[in-house]
Amino acid sequence: MKKPNLDTVQNILFLELRPWINRTTPDAKYKQLHEDLIKVHFSYQPLYEPAFAKPLTAKRKFYHALIENEVIDYLNDINTEISAASIVNEKKYWVHTALTKVLSQKLRDISQVIESFDFGLTNLTSKSVNSDIKDDTYIIQYLRLQLSRAYLEIQNLYQEYLKDEPLSFQELNEKYFSEPLPESHIKVASKINLPTSSPQIITKQTDPGFETKAYDFRDEKGKNILDYKTVVKNPNRFSSFEEKLFTNDLIETNYNFRNKHGQIQELAAIYHALIAKNYFNQQKFPGGKPIKEVDIRRFLDHRYQSSTQKQFNTWSNDRDKLADFINKRYWIDKLPVC
């Protein structure tokens, strides 16, 4: 398998695909080049998508499709590498390399091109700028937007492997460019239809109505139910998990278990996965009394208003079947270790 790269971006910025050296290419040629491109599709549900002006000229349409293919291909390859990595340090390597070496350098390169050739956004609306410069500006600014999108995609999809605080879209623009892109140029990605045979990378797209609650919120709690602070090891990591629980349609905005067909078995398996990935404290404090699996199951059942005792015990008695069940559910299997 080829390693993730952005060779086409390099070609657009510095080699034979530089749009400003191809101003004499006829529209018919660009139309043919566009028709010859094979569209690349995402192998996972992306977090973001660009919201840029529609390409209207033949030249813009070709470069728009070419850049989109390149970035999608790169993101697919990066996600494949990270998902296939067997150890945390290897995953961190791919994330670190993508953000601090590959994408950061390409964003600097784009900034240099914009400054050197005066490809500022105002060209697109100025009446005094000729059509060739407008086309070239559109292409370079769209390239900038797509690579900014790729940066946000990787850092937010794999926050647990970051060395530094994640950047917002605005902060990313301020870091690399003198002229900011409007916030409206990036948006939450639309839901896409993935082939059932493709690896399903479930990404966090939290509904605005879902509020993370790193505390106990139920009015009544039985005497056998431990407190949130006693049980949960890392509130941030656990909140991230609960967002995934919501986006995968297992709980409602009020944290009540949906209990659709087959979900009770899945929820019990998730409990076991969380225990195996060290999401919970092993001892009560103070006192040092051990926290047992049954304590965790009761805490989670109370939190989600579910009743998984039977299914939880069944999985406990058939670990091989449990492992196979989890392995077939990508988002559970790939929950980060706490």
Domain, as residue range, for 328: 228-333
Q: What is the pLDDT of residue 191?
A: 83
274 located within any domain? yes
Q: What is the pLDDT of residue 203?
A: 44
Whether 161 and 232 map to the same domain: the answer is no
200 located within any domain? no
pTM of the model: 0.60
Q: What is the pLDDT of residue 335?
A: 82
Whether 114 and 184 map to the same domain: the answer is yes
User: In total, how many domains does the chain have?
Assistant: 2
161 located within any domain? yes
212 located within any domain? no
Residues of the chain with pLDDT under 70: 1-3, 194-209, 221
Whether 24 and 166 map to the same domain: the answer is yes
Whether 77 and 128 map to the same domain: the answer is yes
pLDDT in tens, 298-321: 999 999 999 999 999 999 999 999
Q: What is the pLDDT of residue 200?
A: 44
**Angle between the 7-14 and 58-84 helix axes, to the nearest 10 degrees?**
140
Whether 22 and 163 map to the same domain: the answer is yes
Q: How far is CA 10 from CA 16, 55, 67, 215, in A?
A: 10, 21, 11, 49
Largest distance between two CA atoms of the chain: 79
Give the residue from 163, 248, 168 showing the smallest Cα distance to 201.
Answer: 248
Q: What is the C-alpha separation between 78 and 13, in angstroms, rounded?
A: 22
Whether 79 and 172 map to the same domain: the answer is yes
Give the residue from 107, 138, 101, 111 showing the smallest Cα distance to 4.
Answer: 101
Mapped onto helix, strand or coil, the DSSP state of residue 210 is coil
